Amino acid sequence: MVYSVDSNFAEKVARAMLPNKLPAEVKKMVKSAISEIANMITGQASIALAGRMI
């Protein structure tokens, strides 16, 4: 699975996920935040697909 997001959007998402962090800290964690969202999406899709195959 491959996800692609614009860097500005990714930074906005990271800021929303990390509201109490300083901007410099958020910038360091953008990739991690987007990766976490991708994991959640993939996990939910896997669960949904597995439920249909039973």
For the chain, the structural domain boundaries read 7-52
Mean pLDDT within 28-50: 94
* CA 4 to chain CA mean position, Å: 11
| Mean pLDDT (the chain, rounded) | 92
Cβ-based burial of 13 (10 A; exposed 0-12, middle 13-18, buried ≥19): middle
Q: Is the pLDDT of residue 53 over 70?
A: no
Q: How far is CA 25 from CA 10, 20, 39, 46, in A?
A: 14, 10, 21, 32
Whether pLDDT at 5 is above 70: yes
